[in-house]
Amino acid sequence: MPAGTGFSYAETQEGWVSSDTILAANYKDFIKKFLSDNPKLLGNPLYISGVSYSAIIVPKVTLELYEGNERGDQPAVNIQGYILCSPLTNKFMDFNSRLEYAHRMALISDDIYQSAINNCNGNYVDTMRANSACRESLQGYEKCTSLISFDNILEPVSDDSKYAVRQFPLLKAIYVDIRTFAHQKSCWYLGVDLMSIP
């Protein structure tokens, strides 16, 4: 969900139209139809779950199912609650907080962090409106974090064999492509100054 996500598709032009409200209604309708077609599952406790962006619609779906039960809609659903993993709740705040996260996790230096704090007026997302000093600070942030997976910063940054991938002896699970950072004197990776590694 929605059309175009994963293997989903639409057969009509209208099927490609989407919004959070439409998604929530489709999600609720799917659950009701699925449970109508599989009545032996109706008594099972139901938790609606979602990851990342779906955190915006999962609470709405859960509430609509609950309110449907209150109105007497059929089939009644044994809704118990919802589960959110790594939820996106406010796009600006979630993405804007990545600079501080990168600093706290030692993915960027104090210099890059402080430069962004001083130059960007608290907005690290909207680079089109940023002044040149802010854009330069954010470019430093981007250079240091562009190959790091924010889903799991401990994952290797590159598994491409053409790069010289080096293993840190202190953490056997951490790999980093040193050549990527060779020109970055202010990039840190998990507290290790990349320029100090022979």
Residue where one domain finishes, among candidates 58, 85, 112: 85
The tokens describing 92, both together, are 């600006």
Residue where one domain finishes, among candidates 85, 116, 142: 85
The answer, yes or no, to whether residue 171 has pLDDT greater than 80, is: no
Question: What distance in Å separates the CA atoms of residue 181 and residue 112, rounded to the nearest whole number?
Answer: 15
pTM here?
Answer: 0.52
The tokens describing 35, both together, are 């449970």
Kind of pairing between the strands at 165-167 and 175-177? antiparallel
The domain in which residue 76 lies consists of 14-85
The one-character DSSP state at 95 is H
> Who contacts 21 (Cβ-Cβ below 8 Å, separation ≥6)?
60
Confidence (pLDDT) at 150: 66
170 with 112, same domain? yes
Can you count the helices (H) and strands (E) in the chain?
Answer: 7, 6
184 with 116, same domain? yes
- Condensed to tens digits (0 to 9), the pLDDT of residues 109-162 reads 899 999 999 999 888 887 777 788 998 888 888 888 877 776 677 776 654 433
Confidence (pLDDT) at 135: 87
The secondary structure element, H or E, covering residue 43 is: none
Give 18's pLDDT tier (boundaries 50, 70, 90): confident
Question: What distance in Å separates the CA atoms of residue 120 and residue 134, rounded to the nearest whole number?
Answer: 5
Confidence (pLDDT) at 41: 93
The answer, yes or no, to whether residue 170 has pLDDT greater than 60, is: no
The answer, yes or no, to whether residue 1 has pLDDT greater than 70, is: no
Confidence (pLDDT) at 158: 54
The one-character DSSP state at 27 is H
102 with 155, same domain? yes
**pLDDT (mean) for 82-95:** 80
Torsion of CA 43, 54, 66, 74, to 10 degrees: -60
Q: 28 lies in a domain?
A: yes
In terms of phi and psi (left: phi > 0; alpha: psi -120 to 50; beta: otherwise), the region of 16 is: alpha
The answer, yes or no, to whether residue 69 has pLDDT greater than 80, is: yes
Give 196's pLDDT tier (boundaries 50, 70, 90): very low
130 with 41, same domain? no
